DNA sequence: TTGTAAGCGTTATCAT
DNA sequence: ATGATAACGCTTACAA
């Protein structure tokens, strides 16, 4: 019999097995943009763990559009995926609550959705933001702009909150709300926001970009305005990237470990599949500020790389 | 009846349907590294087209390891995916021939595999390389290094061939083979290769990095060596990236459209699923050289941005 | 221990 | 047209 198996290269049909057992051994992965290396790294981490356990990752790109997200969820439900790893496009407009019952395991990536019982993997965006504000304020920065991203995503709100709170603690006054801008998590939004902010008469001395896309836009705008980093403006980006490492000067970042996020998400999924009744788990990973050379003492224009 | 469908949110079970019809409406996507934005963009393009047609993309990361690639193919075969989009890790060691019969549609991304009947999407790496060599030679470069990547991947061989051929045509002599280096498609390989090449006594005046990872390593090495671009060395990268656009100076690239590659791959898959008997199709997309400021006339050290 | 049968949710076929 | 029924390939439960 074993000979025949080997000879015919027989492999059990996963569809039939899935139909009979009620488990497809597939996990959906819904993200706004898989060409963003942050999500790519998360996917890679998750896939590594899932592959080891004979599970596959079914990708679905939402393009930050709640309607496409809804279609993706419907399609994945139809495919009877056992689990779902989801970076909700907009917490205020997500259709997850309508679909959640179809997935026996759901892990939310850095999001909070009302009325859905799900495990979560979260980054502690507060930690790194505190360190960044400490550093900027210690170097004399008081007018600090924040490209915060969308209000429909938890990390954006968390960063704004941490920024305000720490600024108040350190400086003893509230930050200028006009310098805190919400908007799309896109290059264009980062570019336009930065141009507006830096064209104002009373220009901020530092800028924090809320994700890698906003950072790309911000850096482009700073270049186009002919400003120098950190002489004219100090810059901090959230999440690491080749562009941040290789820019001149290299850009200070609020860093985290995205592939670990993916691995933990996969672990949570597998754990919940094994024990559907377990109480919801929430894992939190740290973020940390990394100095590189894009932040200088305020008012010392031209003296780059000061530490 | 329709009321009941709406009321119970009934959706046909894709597993059962797949079992009965013999079509899973899923397509496998096997790549070395999904955190590489090049593959991310290809995946995004493919997913956009496939989603429109009710197909899902099943991701499998091979990490450039032929063994993991083999496992991925076996798992996807077991899942009865209708099609396969595959960027083979190493053409010399791929197990695709053993698995190909399980997939009724296969599209190879920029690879050639002996004995496998598959549609292909190819980039014409020759075009952009010709333009790059023309440009470099026109500016007086004669000692040009090429970080070519792995010999097990068609684009690497195609670039070496195009480089040699065009150099010979333009210069009238063969290029120095010691400056053409094969190796892994990794940052480390790019870093180490660049350090070695640029530390030699008779240093080349220009360097071409064969992909975005090699480029990242090369740029890091150039920085660490304290060399300036393009004053000390001119640099050209294959494939665009944020890092190339935002570097100072911005890096000249050999560009192509990866998301279009993904879309075309998906189109080919859908076409072949519709007509399995159609003769194999091979689509070729152009590459083009884009000037930005990282290439200068040879011997005019320090005169950056010369055009 | 070994073998047989039922049934998972579809779709397709075949009577009516 | 309409409706009942078989079959896809597997797992599992139960019978021999």
pLDDT at A73 over 70: yes
d(CA A53, CA A106): 17
CB B278 within 8 A of CB B254: no
Query: How far A84 CA sits from the closest chain B CA (Å)?
Result: 13
| A17 burial level (CB within 10 Å; 0-12, 13-18, 19+) | middle
CB B40 within 8 A of CB B8: no
Lowest mean pLDDT among A223-237, B91-105, B109-123, B291-305: B291-305
pLDDT recorded at residue B226: 96
pLDDT tens-place string over residues A267-304: 999 999 999 899 999 999 999 999 999 999 997 544 44
pLDDT recorded at residue B307: 36
List Cα–Cα distances, A196 to A182, A190, A192, A233, A289, in angstroms.
Answer: 13, 10, 6, 14, 26
Residues of A in contact with B71 (CB under 8 A): 51
pLDDT at A212 over 80: yes
Return the residue matching tokens 């609550």.
Answer: A97
pLDDT tens-place string over residues B154-171: 999 999 999 999 999 999
Q: Among residues of chain A, what percentage have pLDDT more than 70?
A: 95
Question: Closest nt to B80 (CA→C1')?
Answer: D9
Question: Closest nt to A22 (CA→C1')?
Answer: C8
pLDDT tens-place string over residues B18-45: 999 999 999 999 999 999 999 999 999 9
- The answer to whether residue A227 neighbours chain B at the CB level (below 8 Å) is no
B11 and A77 within 8 Å at the Cβ level: the answer is yes
pLDDT at A152 over 60: yes
The closest CB to that of A246, out of B40, B47, B243, belongs to: B243
pLDDT recorded at residue A299: 77
- The answer to whether residue B23 neighbours chain A at the CB level (below 8 Å) is no
CB B93 within 8 A of CB B70: no
CB A46 within 8 A of CB A263: yes
B35 and A36 within 8 Å at the Cβ level: the answer is no
List Cα–Cα distances, A140 to A174, A250, A288, in angstroms.
Answer: 15, 21, 21
A40 and B41 within 8 Å at the Cβ level: the answer is no
pLDDT band at A2 (very low <50, low <70, confident <90, very high): low
Residue A261 contacts by C-beta under 8 Å, 6 or more apart in sequence? A42, A45, A109, A110, A121, A123, A285
Phi, psi of B286 (to 5 degrees): -80, 160
In chain A, whose CA is at the least distance from the CA of B74? A11
From the list A142, A161, A147, the residue with the least C-alpha distance to A239 is A147
Q: Which residues pair with B122 in a beta bridge?
A: B284
Q: What is the mean pLDDT of residues A159-169?
A: 98
Q: What is the mean pLDDT of residues B89-109?
A: 97
pLDDT tens-place string over residues A6-51: 766 788 999 999 999 999 999 999 999 999 999 999 999 999 999 9
CB B270 within 8 A of CB B49: yes
Q: What is the mean pLDDT of residues A152-162?
A: 98
d(CA A279, CA A274): 13
Residues of A in contact with B19 (CB under 8 A): 13, 15-16, 19
From the list A209, A48, A249, A37, the residue with the least C-alpha distance to B187 is A37
A40 and B39 within 8 Å at the Cβ level: the answer is yes
What does pLDDT average to over chain A?
95
Phi, psi of A179 (to 5 degrees): -95, -5
pLDDT recorded at residue B305: 41
pLDDT recorded at residue A138: 98
Structure tokens at A201: 């008469």
> What DSSP element (H or E) covers B149?
strand B144-149
List Cα–Cα distances, A246 to A43, A242, A293, B241, in angstroms.
Answer: 24, 6, 11, 12
Question: Closest nt to A20 (CA→C1')?
Answer: C8
Distance B78 CA to C4 C1' (A): 26
pLDDT tens-place string over residues A171-195: 999 999 999 999 999 999 999 999 9
Q: Output the furthest CA–CA distance in chain B (Å, rounded).
A: 82
Q: What is the mean pLDDT of residues B141-147?
A: 98
d(CA B234, CA B209): 11
A56 and B56 within 8 Å at the Cβ level: the answer is no
pLDDT tens-place string over residues B130-141: 999 999 999 999
Three-class SS of residue A209? Answer: strand
> If you measure CA to C1', which residue is closest to nucleotide D7?
B20
Lowest mean pLDDT among B151-155, B233-237, B303-307: B303-307
The closest CB to that of A78, out of B14, B241, B246, belongs to: B14
| B201 burial level (CB within 10 Å; 0-12, 13-18, 19+) | exposed
A36 and B33 within 8 Å at the Cβ level: the answer is no
Q: What is the β-pairing status of strands B206-209 and B234-238?
A: parallel
Which has more pLDDT, B121 or A304?
Answer: B121
pLDDT recorded at residue A49: 98
pLDDT at B302 over 50: no
Residue A281 contacts by C-beta under 8 Å, 6 or more apart in sequence? A119, A120, A268, A271
What sign does the dihedral A222-A224-A229-A231 (CA atoms) show? Answer: negative
A59 and B68 within 8 Å at the Cβ level: the answer is no
Q: Among residues of chain A, what percentage have pLDDT more than 90?
A: 92
pLDDT at A306 over 70: no
* Cβ count near B88 (within 10 Å): 26
Q: What is the β-pairing status of strands B282-286 and B119-124?
A: parallel
Number of inter-chain CB pairs under 8 A, A vs B:
164
Residues of A in contact with B230 (CB under 8 A): none
d(CA A154, CA A92): 11
pLDDT tens-place string over residues B203-226: 999 999 999 999 999 999 999 999
Question: Which nucleotides of chain C does any protein CB come within 7 A of?
Answer: 7-12
Q: What is the mean pLDDT of residues B234-247?
A: 98
């Amino acid at each position: 019999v074993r000979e025949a198996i080997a000879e015919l290269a027989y492999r059990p049909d996963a569809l039939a097995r899935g139909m009979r057992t009620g488990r497809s051994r597939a996990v959906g992965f819904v993200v706004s943009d898989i060409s963003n290396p942050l999500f790519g790294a998360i996917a890679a981490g998750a896939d590594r763990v899932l592959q080891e356990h004979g599970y596959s990752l079914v990708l679905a790109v939402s393009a930050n559009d709640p309607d496409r997200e809804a279609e993706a969820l419907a399609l994945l439900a139809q495919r009877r995926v056992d689990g779902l790893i989801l970076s909700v496009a907009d917490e205020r407009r997500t259709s997850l609550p309508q679909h959640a019952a179809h997935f026996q395991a759901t892990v939310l990536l850095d999001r909070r959705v009302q009325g859905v019982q799900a495990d979560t993997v979260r980054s502690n965006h507060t930690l790194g933001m505190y360190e960044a504000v400490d550093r900027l304020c210690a170097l004399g920065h008081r007018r600090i702009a924040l490209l915060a991203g969308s209000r429909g995503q938890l990390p954006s709100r968390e960063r704004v909150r941490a920024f305000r709170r720490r600024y108040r603690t350190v400086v003893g006054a509230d930050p200028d709300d006009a310098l805190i801008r919400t908007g799309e998590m896109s290059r264009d939004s980062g570019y336009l926001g930065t141009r507006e902010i830096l064209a104002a008469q009373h220009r901020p001395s530092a800028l924090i970009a809320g994700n890698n896309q906003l950072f790309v836009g911000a850096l482009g705008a700073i270049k186009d305005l002919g400003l120098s980093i950190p002489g004219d403006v100090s810059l901090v980006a959230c999440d690491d990237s080749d562009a941040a490492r290789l820019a001149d000067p290299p850009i200070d970042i609020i860093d985290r470990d995205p592939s670990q996020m993916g691995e933990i998400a996969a672990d949570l999924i597998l754990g919940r599949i094994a024990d559907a009744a377990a109480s919801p788990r929430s894992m939190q990973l740290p973020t940390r500020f990394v100095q590189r050379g894009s932040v200088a003492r305020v008012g010392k224009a031209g003296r780059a790389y000061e530490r």
